Each structure stands twice: as structure tokens, then as C-alpha cells.
Structure 1
Amino acid sequence: MKTRRGRALPVAVAAALAVTVGAAAPSAAKAPAPQDQATSALKAEIDRLYASDPGLLGRTHKMQAFIMELALHAKTRNPDFKVIPQDAAELAFVDGDVDKGVLKDLVGLVDGWGKEDLLLDGDGVTPTDEQRAYLELVRHHLMVTETSTVETQAELQEYYARAAKWGVIPYPRIGGELAQQLNPGKRWAENGDYFWVEDPTTIGLGSRIDGTRDVTRLTDAKNYLYNINGRPYDAWSTWDAEEAAYAAGDGDRTRITDSYGNGLLVPSPGGPYKPVPADDPTVQKAITIYGDEWDWWWRAAGLDASAGRQTWLDALRNSDYDVIYIDSFYNHRALPAHQTPLTRAEIESLKHKPDGGRRQVIAYLSVGSAEQNRWYCQDDWVWVDPTNPNTERSMKSGKLVNRVYSPPENAPEWLALGYGGNYAEEAVVQWWNPEWRDIIINGGSPYKNVATGDDTSSIDRIISQGFDGAYLDNVGVYSRQGRNGGWNEFESYWLAHGGIPGEDHPYISVGGITPGHGQVDVDFAIESANGKGYSLYLKEADAQGPFARYGDVSYNRKGAHIKGLKDGTAYLAYVVHDTGGTTSRTETVTFRPGLRKG
């Protein structure tokens, strides 16, 4: 049985993942092996969660199911494979509610949890509601890692104190004045980033470092490196051309305060770049101290333009971190046809620290968003958007305008929502759609690698590369609701247009019910209409006048006729509650064929 220090896997999970060597194949007359029964029970629980109704609780269950399905799939291939979701730790609890206790099957399948920008919230004495979920997971003997942007020495000390107090493994992303103090003449970006292989002593992690420490279980780790995008080491030979192209239309791209791009400039005598804008106090200070001749950090260091991959790998190998989170590709920014995954030999070379200790090498994998530079992205899923701050290629996605949803054009329906912020090259996905589950977990997707024609899933690629585990980003998208709407509007749209894509059972939409007076109180009952279908009856308080026609559902005060209902089938109705013509809330109700009462 596989165990972790201080925490045994639940019996059902351990049995499901047990491996029997040299056992004879069971005959047809024998009962299923215990591990088969346990695996079947886990799969049944996953299917139950996936089958949840629309709405926030249903999406909570569907993301729990996704995490469990991925983890079970991975651990069936390699029982020692680690699974670490990032964000939304409430997913580890029943119904996403910390007060209801952990969801044992899920917690038994994951090995840790990660978070960005958590520790410095609140007063550091009483945990916030969000912090409480992560601290509960620490108490359940999961490794919890956290990274925050830290901008002053005082903030850095407070950050480490809170991490030590709460048993969380910290990694500070150094920004602001602190970046300039700790890396004089080398780092000017105002915001912290996760691009650099930092010297742990420079950023204050020295007391947590031991190069001889073996980390085979994540609970053995005392530190980690958050390096999920190796931007400073990527495709150096293209940087000058990119800068010239930007400068042709936008002369202020040489911002040394922009960590994604020109924050990678450093003072260099004879360098071709001059930091802008001149009236920025940070830029003025930098020029006063170092002059106005700057160049890319790697060229100033005397490195060859083709040495980026080797420089990055050497920096990782020479570090003493216990756990490293990295991308599974070197050239993260390349288009899918030109990406080169890390080789198995390269990954194996990262698993031992310079002083011999074993470390864990974990691959970054976004499961809640599709990215335009990943193997599965087809050319017609992207469009050229010069306003994208990171790349001109942006992902197509569903749109929300004044809380009205429209699906993506000429792209898969599961590219559900725009990611927002500075990430136009990503789209939030309908993660429970079978096509996305095939891309990330199961394989066999119709969307193959444009270069190789391979349809191997992302998690199987990562396992075959030799990674010790996967870091699952964007699991928190399940609750996304912005000013212009989000998942509620996505579900409402599709329930009104034939059903949510990829669902296994039909949906009937009943929406837009606006009574003449007060709050709607809707009840449902179904009765046979002479064997020619069923009628849906609505019981309302103070309903006035006829209701509108809505798709294949026509309804009025006397009831509604719905085409295509089958006896013995459960259907879901999505109801919009209106008060005075304004939507006050949405909810999902279930109705089944039966006799109308009253």
C-alpha cells in the first residue's frame, strides 16, 4: 500500500492503485479483485459528480470529478505520480464547503495544493475564509505551496513568518523596490513574476535549503521553485526582431518595468536600447545610476543567442530546491508546430540536486483554460489581435455583452469564456466537456497535434516524459462570474438552445418568466397528454397574463407543452427568477414525468 508520511491513502484508493506482479489472470467465475472494485467505486463517484445539475454547486462537483478523473488516470499508470491542483482549495471539501469536511476520495487522490497570492491577505493572526481551506489541507497532511509578490524587506519577513506559522511552503516573487535592492542593475520590473530560477539565498530561503535532503514524498519538502514560464531563457534569437516589430508601431516597448518583455533589459555599455518612458521615476532613477545604454540580460552576460535552453536547464540543475514546478516545454511561446518538449533525459537530469538529494520535478498543466501555444490548439481557434499585450495571437471564445452570452464562432463550443486580464491568448474551457477531457486526460481527441498528428492526452505526455507529477492550474474557473456575466449565462444560453454541449442527458429550458406582481414561485409537475407527449405545469404566485414562447417550449398560465420528453427520464429545467422584469437570481430545478397534483 502506498502511503505518505502521517497520512495513509484511503483504503479504497490504495486498493484501486495497488499493483500485483506476476498474478494469474482471474477466471470468469471469480469475483472482481478488490482493487477493481475500488476503482469501479471511484469511477462511479466521478460519474455521479459529473452528472450534477447546472449551477454553482453542479460546477463545483464537475471540477471535483475532473480532478479525480485525472488523478485516477495518472496514478493507474504510475502510482507514485503526484497531483497538485492550484487555487480553489474549497474543492477538496464536500460540496466545496470547508465546514462539511474533506471529500475523502478526492483528498486521497491528490498530493498537495498550490495557491498564488494568499499568505499576505488578512491580519496574519486569524485566517481568512479562503486561507482556512488551505490550512485545513495542511492539517490533513497535504503539502501546500504558496507564492506571493513581495515588494519590501518588511513584507518579505512577514511573508516567511506566516508561512512558518501555518505550515505552508513559501516562494516569494520579488518585485518593486525589493527586486532592485536584491538584484542591483539586473531587475527593474515593478511586479513580481515567476520566470527566474532565483538564488534561494538571495530571496531569503537559505534556511530551508538542504542539497542532501531526499524528497520522494511531497510532505518531505521544505521549499519549492515556482518557474512555470521560463520566459527569460526562451528563444533569444528572436528578441531583437520582436522588439523592432513592436517599435515600428509602438515606440515605448522598451519599458524596463514590464516584467514580461523589456524588464529583461539590463545596463550594458554600448547596448542598443534606451529605457522609456523618460518621465517614469523608476526609469529616471535607473538611468541616473546606470546610464541609458541597455541590452538583453543574456547578451550582457556574454551568452550565445542559441544557448537559452541549456542556460535554463543548467540553472535548474544547479539549484537546491526540493520541488520545482516547470513547463513541460522549453520554448513556451512557440506555436504548437514549433514547440519542443523537454526530453526524458533532460527531466531525469533535473531530479537530483548538486549535492545528491532527490527532488520532485512537477510539470505545469492548465486544465481550466486552453492556451494558443499548446499542442492541441488548431490554427482556426485563434485570431490576430494587435492589442494583445503578450502576442498578437488570441484565442477565440464565447462572448458576454451586457450579460448576454454568445458562443465562439468557428471554434469548439467548449471554448466557453474569455480569460480576461492580460491573457487574451487563453480561453476558459467547459472542462467537463468530453472533448476537453480527451485532450487533457483520456486521449483520442479529434484535435491532434498539428505537427505530429498525435492525439495523446496532455497528462499522458507528461507521464511519458518522466515528470514526477503535474501542477493543475485554473481549477478555480468553476466559479467564474464577472461584471458582464459568466457561467450562469453560459448555462442559460445552452439550456435554451438544445442543451449544454457534451452533457449526457437532455435539458429543457424554462426561462424569462416575469410575473405581474412580486416574486415568482415555480413548481413543476408532469402528466401524460393522451400519449402524445407531456405538459409542464407552472404554479406561480400572482402570475398575470400569458408567458412568451421560448424555443420548443410554449407556456402560459395554464401550463407548457414540451416536445420530446420520454417516460422515465429525468430532465433539468433552468429557471430565471424575475422581480419586476429584473433577474434577481438563477437556480436549477429537476422534474420528472409523473401526474400533476392539484
Structure 2
Amino acid sequence: MSNKNYTLIFVLFLGITSCSKIEMKLPENPEESMREFVIQISQYAKQKKPNFIIIPQNGIELAYTEYNSASGFSQEFNNAIDGFGIEALFYDGYELPIYDRLTMLQKFSENKRVMVSDYLSDDTLFEDAIQKNNREGFLSFPRMSFNYDYTHIPTIVQNENSEDILNLKDAQNYLYLINASNFSTKQELITNLANTNFDVILIDLFFHGRPLTQEDLQKIKVKENGGKRLVISYLNIGSAEKYRYYFNNNWNINDPHWLVKPYKGYENEIFVKYWSIEWHSIIYGNDNSYLKKIIDAGFDGAYLDNVKSYHYLFSDNF
């Protein structure tokens, strides 16, 4: 082999090694990396479908330029999203103390919707949870003691109405149902959803491993009383789920390198390097990406879970 060929191979090796180091390097600002990730997801989705709704869940700090500060919006981030989902704001089995994030949510809700999912271990707290959220102008979905995993459709719809819901600001209530294990067939799920008057429905793209179709979505997008509603798909952007179409059963922690940490309490999920190019390509940017499948199915938006994975990754000696 000529010296020229040896040189070429060495240069290629250095290039690959260099790229690997860049990819493996931890972000200097974990929050900013997640903020940028959400913005990129939004830009891709809205390019494909201009009115597509993006709702991050938890991590309201990303909406601000300074942590725990209600002064100074991150303008690009806020322009990219249409609302914010929050779990356990007032209740997480028991009543929670008021944290700084309430102040941040109050400021944020002046222009956009806040959607709160409190967990109630005592069902008698239902009305109090509703009142606390109504007082702030937040949409409320109190999970009763039997509904910790978002498996049930409540019989009570708060602020029920027959209005057409054309954007998130119009909504007066919502349903959070991302676990369809209580339904034996897709038709049973669709029928039960169609026979409700929730303004917004959060569901999974997949039913028993198969994606919902545009025809399925059209049946769900009309409330029982005839009004139009929004149907939003769940999308986990902070951890890989072992039961998803993209997951290789041979994968494990650090193999591939962007699978980095077990998700305590969720044995079928692994925290990811959310800044990884490989992970980004799974989530958005190409025809086989998760987000493109959601858009193709006819969903009105995506509900981004584990946005706050930056906290869990870097708070425990990652």
C-alpha cells in the first residue's frame, strides 16, 4: 500500500475519532441543549404542518432565560411551543407546597395554555384540584387513585361545551389517556373516545404496536355533541422506550452510546443523550422518524414527555 493510502486512512480515522468525541462530549449547558432540541422539533413539525401544536411536559424553566425566574422569556423557545403540560402541580398523592414554578406558569399562561395533571390519592380532593387550577386559568386533569398510569376515561368533563376547538387557547378541558391497556380492540378505544366531549385528547400514536390512521383520527376529532376537538399524540423525547418500533432488542446501556442511564421506576425506558444526532434522527427530520409518523397519521400536535430529562441525567453523577 502506498504512503498516500496510509495517509488517507489515518486522516479518515482522525475524522471519525473527532466526530465520536464531539458526539460523546457532554453539553456545557444541559438545559440549553434540551431547549434547542424542542425548538428543532417544532421547526420541523411546523414546516410540515404550519398549525401543528407543540406541548412540552414539565421543565417550565426552559421557557425562561434565567432558572427559577419569571423575568425574561426565552423568546425563541416560547415562539416554538403552543402550551405547557405540568404533572403534579398542586397534588402528587398529597397536597404540594407552592414552588417557584407556579410563578413561572402564571406568567407563561398570560399568552398560552397550561395543562395540569395532578395525582390524587384521595378522590375527595377532586373538586379542590379543579378549583385550584381554575383559579389560575389552567386546564385541569385530576388523576384519581385508580388512574395513576393514565388508563381511564373519566365520566366527568369539566366545563363541557359544544364549541369547535380550533387551537389550544379555545380549550376548556382535556383528556390524558396514553395507556390503552384497558381496551381490547382499536375500535373499542375509538368508540369510547368518540363518545366524549373533551376539547383536547392526548393519546398514543400506537395501539398495541400499530399506528392509528387518518381514518381513525377523523372519528376521534369530533366530540359526541358535534363540536370539533384537537387530538394530540404523546411523544417521549427524553428516554427511549423498549417497546417502540425503533428499538433494537440487542441494545443496552451504552450500546449504542446514546443509551446512558436506567429510568428508575420505568423498567422499559432508558434515558438518552438527547443531544445525540442518532437520537434526533429517531425523533424527527426524516420520513421514518417518530414525529413524521405522528404528522402523517393526522394528529393536531405532539405532547413531548421527559423534556426535563436534563435534570435527571445530570443530578445523579451522570
1:229 alignment partner in structure 2: 179
Instruction: Tell me the distance in 1 between the aligned counterparts of 2:95 and 2:243.
Output: 40
**1:126-179: CA deviations, max 9, x gaps?**
94212222222112x11111111223354112211111111110011111xxxx
Match among 235, 243, 259 for residue 415 of structure 1: 259
In structure 2, how many angstroms separate the alpha carbons of the residues matched to 1:469 and 1:440? 14
Secondary structure of the residue aligned to 2:282 is: helix
Structure 1: how far apart are the matches of 2:101 and 2:150?
A: 22
Question: Structure 1 residues 482 and 92 mapped into 2: Cα distance closer, same or farther (>3 Å)?
Answer: closer
Q: Which residue number corresponds to residue 593 of structure 1?
A: none
For structure 2, which runs of at least 5 residues remain unmatched after alignment? Answer: 1-21
Correspondent of 1:200 among 123, 133, 156 = 156
Query: Which residue of structure 1 lines up, in the alignment, with residue 223 of structure 2?
Result: 353
2:14 aligned residue: none
- Structure 2 SS opposite 1:347: helix
In structure 2, the residue matched to 1:467 is 299
CA distance in 2, matches of 1:318, 1:172: 20
Change (3 A) 1:162 1:378: same
Q: Which runs of 5+ in 1 are unaligned?
A: 1-49, 176-188, 237-307, 332-338, 382-395, 398-407, 444-454, 488-598
Q: TM-score, normalised by structure 2?
A: 0.87
Q: In structure 2, what is the Cα distance between the partners aligned to 1:313 and 1:146?
A: 24
* Amino acid paired to 2:275: W
Q: Describe the superposition over 1:5-51 as per-residue Cα deviations: whole angstroms up to 9, x where unpaired.
A: xxxxxxxxxxxxxxxxxxxxxxxxxxxxxxxxxxxxxxxxxxxxx99
2:312 corresponds to? 480
Residue aligning to 1:377: 247
One-letter amino acid of the structure 1 residue matched with residue 180 of structure 2? G
Is the Cα–Cα contact under 8 Å of residues 149 and 193 in structure 1 kept in the other structure? no
Question: Is the counterpart of residue 117 in structure 1 residue 88 in structure 2?
Answer: yes
Q: What does residue 280 of structure 2 align with?
A: 437
Superimposed CA distance per residue, residues 94-153 of structure 1 (whole angstroms, 9 cap, x where no aligned partner): 1544244111111011001101111237988x94212222222112x1111111122335
Residue number among 3, 28, 36 corresponding to 1:65 in the alignment: 36
Distance in 1 (alpha carbons) for counterparts of 2:288 and 2:270:
21
Specify the structure having the higher radius of gyration (Cα): 1
> Could you say which residue in structure 1 is the equivalent of 2:51?
80
- 1:325 pairs with 2:169: no
Q: Give the structure 2 partner of residue 167 of structure 1.
A: 137
Asked if residue 215 in structure 1 is aligned to residue 165 in structure 2, the reply is yes
Task: From 91, 96, 105, give the equivalent of 1:134.
Answer: 105
Letter of the structure 2 residue corresponding to residue 135 of structure 1:
Q
Structure 2: how far apart are the matches of 1:456 and 1:481?
A: 27
Structure 2 residue matching 1:427: 3-state secondary structure: strand
Structure 1 Cα separation of the partners of residues 95 and 247 of structure 2 = 43
User: Counterpart of 2:126?
Assistant: 156
- TM-score when normalising by structure 1: 0.47
How many percent identity over aligned positions? 32
More helix by share: 2
Determine the structure 2 residue equivalent to 1:456: 288
Deviations 1:433-486 (A, max 9, x none): 00001110112xxxxxxxxxxx61111110011000000000000111588x34
Quick one: distance in 2 between partners of 1:469 and 1:103? 21
Which has the bigger relative contact order, CA under 8 A and spacing at least 6? 2
Q: Measure, in 1, the Cα distance between the counterparts of 2:131 and 2:298.
A: 35
Show the 5 A alignment for 1:187-586: 189=146, 192-201=148-157, 205=158, 208-210=159-161, 212-233=162-183, 236=184, 308-331=185-208, 339-381=209-251, 396-397=252-253, 408=254, 411-421=255-265, 423-443=266-286, 456-480=288-312, 485-487=316-318
Please state whether the residue corresponding to 1:321 is helix, strand or coil. Answer: coil
RMSD over aligned CA atoms reads 2.3
Structure 1 residues 228 and 123: CA distance shift in structure 2, 3 A: closer
CA contact under 8 A between 1:197 and 1:225: conserved in structure 2? yes
SS in structure 1 of the partner of residue 206 of structure 2: coil
SS of the equivalent of 1:60 reads helix
Aligned to 1:181: none
Number of residue pairs aligned between Structure 1 and Structure 2:
295
Distance 1:358 1:95, change over 3 A: same
